[in-house]
Amino acid sequence: MSVPRLDSGRSSVQLPEPTELDGLDAAALVVIIQQAAALQAGAMARLSILPSAKQHVANPDDELLNAKAAAKLLGMSEDWLRRNGEREGLVVRVGRRTVKYSRRKITQYVHRKAGRPA
């Protein structure tokens, strides 16, 4: 079996089925892993700059907020949000170093802390 190349000019990529990996030697598996990692990194970088990346991928109805807007919605400081946001489940990572805050998760958090259903 030949190892597929992930061509940058293509809009779709045909990867081998998991069952096809059994017939590959170690060198071919390393090539597939390297190409898949490069594809994932490129896709993540591209996703982080797309205007649609402002919407949470798993829930397109959720608005992603920057730290200033999220802190204002919470009634807390940006510093508190940065220290506690991940632990409280408010963070949505849209890139390797880019963090946004989910309006839906913040609303749920506020209702939960106030003892009201979301």
Please list the residues that pair with 99 across neighbouring strands.
93
How many structural domains comprise the chain? Answer: 2
Q: Does 64 lie in the same domain as 39?
A: no
Instruction: Give the structural domain span for 9.
Output: 1-49
Query: Over the chain, what is the mean pLDDT?
Result: 80
pLDDT in tens, 24-63: 889 988 888 888 888 888 877 777 676 555 444 556 678 8
At 11 the pLDDT is: 55
Q: Does 100 lie in the same domain as 65?
A: yes
Q: Does 35 lie in the same domain as 64?
A: no
Under 8 Å between Cβ of 73 and 103 = yes
Q: Does 58 lie in the same domain as 110?
A: yes
At 92 the pLDDT is: 87
In this structure, what CATH number is given to the domain that contains residue 82?
1.10.10
Could you tell me what percent of the chain has a pLDDT over 90? 29
The number of residues in the chain equals 118
Angle made by CA atoms 60, 61, 65, in degrees to the nearest 5: 90
**Higher per-residue pLDDT: 9 or 30:** 30
